[in-house]
Amino acid sequence: KSFLNHTAYLSCYFANSQKTDVKDLRVFWQKDTVEVVHEVYYGQEKHDNLTPKYVNRTKMDMDKWTLKLLNAGIADEGQYTCIIQHRDKGSPKVIHTSECSLRVIANYSQPEIAWLHNGELKPNEYLNLSCSSSGGYPEPKQMTWLISHENKTHLGPTDVSQDAVTKLYNVTSKLNIPVPTNIPTNISCLLHLGEQLGSLVSVPLGI
């Protein structure tokens, strides 16, 4: 995993137990088997065959057998293959291949609750709220509402949109409930990002 616009580290997982000299090895990195990401040709970095979008964006650490991919973008997500060939009696022979998968993460803004009506609240009326969060990736799982004196969460109508250029997501959910009476109430909204990324919570709104 890499954060958006940060450096991604992709490993070849090559032990080099034979202690082979890098001058006898060719190292290729490919993405989704069609794009050439990086090439080290018998100890020298070679740029002739690279897919244009990777030029000047990659650097290979031959001690750790790790590729640095600079300024990782959402378009860089995918499956990467590292192929190592050994020059043996003149003809190169594949001695190692490995794959790793890159996922890019962009942080969502803290969810923010907004009022959707004017004037003061009266009993027996409905409370209309929206909650929004923007600029994140990957797509969120869901947005839920938490009302302090209830032990259940509410799901409101939720709109998720993706920016055509940046590929980042914006999410808005709406809540429509009777105005709480006789009891001070805090309402929060939670953006669920999936098991590994956890969730974000808004500042509670006091009614």
Pair 148, 196: CB distance under 8 Å: no
What pLDDT does residue 194 have? 85
Ranges of each domain in the chain = 2-105, 109-206
What pLDDT does residue 30 have? 96
To the question of pTM greater than 0.75 for the whole model, the response is: yes
What pLDDT does residue 149 have? 81
Tokens encoding 97 = 């291949």
Cα 199–204–207 angle (5° rounding)?
145
Q: Which residue carries 């009777």 as its tokens? A: 178
Asked if the domains 2-105 and 109-206 are classified in one and the same CATH topology, the answer is: yes
What are the 10-residue block averages of pLDDT along the chain, 207 residues in total? 96 88 92 92 89 94 94 95 88 92 96 87 85 96 91 89 95 91 89 89 93
Tokens encoding 36 = 């050439």
Q: Which CATH fold would you assign to the domain 2-105? A: Immunoglobulin-like (2.60.40)
CATH class of 109-206: mainly beta
Beta strands in the chain (DSSP E): 2-3, 8-11, 25-31, 35-41, 44-45, 58-61, 66-69, 78-88, 91-102, 104-105, 112-115, 126-136, 142-147, 153-154, 158-162, 169-178, 186-192, 199-201, 205-206
